[in-house]
Structure 1
Amino acid sequence: MIDLSDQTPFASGYNRHCYLHPDTPGRCLKVIRPENIEARYQRQTPLKKLLGKSRINDNKQEQRAHQQIAIVSLIEQGQENQVWRHLPRFYGETSTSLGPANESELLLNSNGEPAQTLESYLQEHGFDPSIKAASERFCEWLEETGILTRNLLPHNLVIAWRNNQPELFLVDGLGAPDAQNRLAAIPAWRRRYIARRISRFYNRIAWELSDKQQSWEASQNL
């Protein structure tokens, strides 16, 4: 078991804390925040509560997402490097003093520090040419691989350096709901699904750069 009792998260989301792996450089550990899982569960309708808590456990969702058809197929075909072009390498679940953790590659910026989120970068620099190009490469990768994601939110993407240029990596939001995963076996449906995610991604970037007088949800109803 990995002891994280003296560790401080280097990043935190609503549902998970991210820690540097104390024993293996270049890896990080994502640990669920159980108090928030419980809060989300209590807000569920009685019918959804019958489905259990695992459906709102981001670590379990991430594990299932790595078993989606496109990823398994690419690995079986010997194209594993294609999978990790825009995803951190995933090493599965490991035990820690704070509970089960998902272990994955630690993504770094050009200074060797944990990679900045796209959301933070847009706030500081806008959608400059280097990040526009990185976004295009990321979206082309989605189309080429057929890897399914949920909505592509800037706080779930980080900017890491590869071959002396910035690249976008999806660190949260991989996979799709069960029904969409089953439909993904139909190539035309998969292409439409990914095209919608890409279109919404660029709309979200435009909203992030706006005055935000209107909420993101309201802007989608125009």
Structure 2
Amino acid sequence: MIDLSGREPFASGYNRHCYRHPDDPALCLKVLRPENIEARFQRQAWPKKALGKARINDNLQELKAHRQQAIRKLLAEQRSSLVWAHLPRFHGAVDTSLGLANVSELIIGDDGMPAETLEHYLKHQGFDQAIQDAVERFCNWLLETGILTRNLLPHNLVIAHRNGQPELFLVDGLGAPAIPDTLAAIPAWRRRYIGRRIRRFHLRINWETGDRHESWESSQKL
């Protein structure tokens, strides 16, 4: 049991808090926020409620996402370096004083602190050439590996320097929980799916760096 009492998360989303591991600061612990999970569940229509709470448990969904076919295949082929080129290394789940936590590599910046999000970078530095190149490498990696993700959001990607250049790492949003495994196994379908995620990602970057006169929901329909 890892004791997290009295510790503050270094980042928080609606569904999870993120803590540095007290015994190994190179690791991140993602802990559910059960009160928000319950509130989210109660807002759903009854047909979705009938599917249970597991589908909105981000830790369970993340565990499943790391077992997706593309990742299993690459690891079986001993190509783990390709898997972790743009993902934090994943170490499963552990018990903590705040409940089960998913454990992964903590991607850190040059200052030794948790890495800056792409959202923060775009807001303060813009979409400069270095990050344009990093985005292109990340998108090419998705197409090469066939790894499935949800919609790619800048606050779910962080920037760390590797081999003298910035690289993007997806720290949340891995997997495609609504997609059946049989469909995900079809290479042509998988490539189309990833292509749609990439096009939407570029739309989101354009919106993040634009004037935002329209909401994201409106702009993505263009």
Q: RMSD value over aligned CA atoms?
A: 0.9
Structure 1 residues 2-151: aligned runs within 5 Å:
2-151=2-151
Deviation, structure 1 residue 60: 0.6
Percent of pairs identical after alignment?
67
Per-residue CA distance 1:105-136 (angstroms, 9 max, x = gap):
01011121110110010000000111111111
Corresponding residue of 1:155: 155
In structure 2, C-alpha distance between the alignment counterparts of 1:182 and 1:211, rounded to whole Å: 41
With over 3 angstroms needed to count, the CA separation of the structure-2 counterparts of 1:214 and 1:220, relative to structure 1, is same
Query: Could you tell me whether the CA contact under 8 Å between 2:61 and 2:177 is conserved in 1?
Result: no
In structure 2, C-alpha distance between the alignment counterparts of 1:191 and 1:153, rounded to whole Å: 19
Query: Could you tell me whether the CA contact under 8 Å between 2:200 and 2:220 is conserved in 1?
Result: no
In structure 1, C-alpha distance between the alignment counterparts of 2:180 and 2:168, rounded to whole Å: 24
Query: Could you tell me whether the CA contact under 8 Å between 2:88 and 2:104 is conserved in 1?
Result: yes
Query: Could you tell me whether the CA contact under 8 Å between 1:108 and 1:161 is conserved in 2?
Result: no
Unaligned runs of 5+ in 2: none
TM-score (norm 1): 0.98
In structure 1, C-alpha distance between the alignment counterparts of 2:24 and 2:170, rounded to whole Å: 22
* Amino acid in the other structure paired with 1:217: E
* Amino acid in the other structure paired with 2:3: D
Corresponding residue of 1:166: 166
Per-residue CA distance 1:155-191 (angstroms, 9 max, x = gap):
0000012112211000011000343543121111111
Determine if the alignment matches structure 1 residue 211 to structure 2 residue 211. Answer: yes
In structure 2, C-alpha distance between the alignment counterparts of 1:159 and 1:49, rounded to whole Å: 37
Deviation, structure 1 residue 102: 0.3
Corresponding residue of 1:193: 193
Query: Could you tell me whether the CA contact under 8 Å between 1:108 and 1:115 is conserved in 2?
Result: yes
In structure 2, C-alpha distance between the alignment counterparts of 1:54 and 1:38, rounded to whole Å: 11
Deviation, structure 1 residue 219: 1.0
Give the match's secondary structure for 2:93: strand
In structure 1, C-alpha distance between the alignment counterparts of 2:128 and 2:173, rounded to whole Å: 24
In structure 2, C-alpha distance between the alignment counterparts of 1:116 and 1:13, rounded to whole Å: 15
Query: Could you tell me whether the CA contact under 8 Å between 1:20 and 1:27 is conserved in 2?
Result: yes
Give the match's secondary structure for 2:167: strand
Query: Could you tell me whether the CA contact under 8 Å between 1:119 and 1:155 is conserved in 2?
Result: yes
Give the match's secondary structure for 1:150: coil
Query: Could you tell me whether the CA contact under 8 Å between 2:93 and 2:100 is conserved in 1?
Result: yes
In structure 1, C-alpha distance between the alignment counterparts of 2:161 and 2:19, rounded to whole Å: 20
* Amino acid in the other structure paired with 1:60: L
In structure 2, C-alpha distance between the alignment counterparts of 1:111 and 1:187, rounded to whole Å: 40
Unaligned runs of 5+ in 1: none
Corresponding residue of 1:175: 175
Give the match's secondary structure for 1:95: strand
* Amino acid in the other structure paired with 1:28: C
Query: Could you tell me whether the CA contact under 8 Å between 1:18 and 1:28 is conserved in 2?
Result: yes
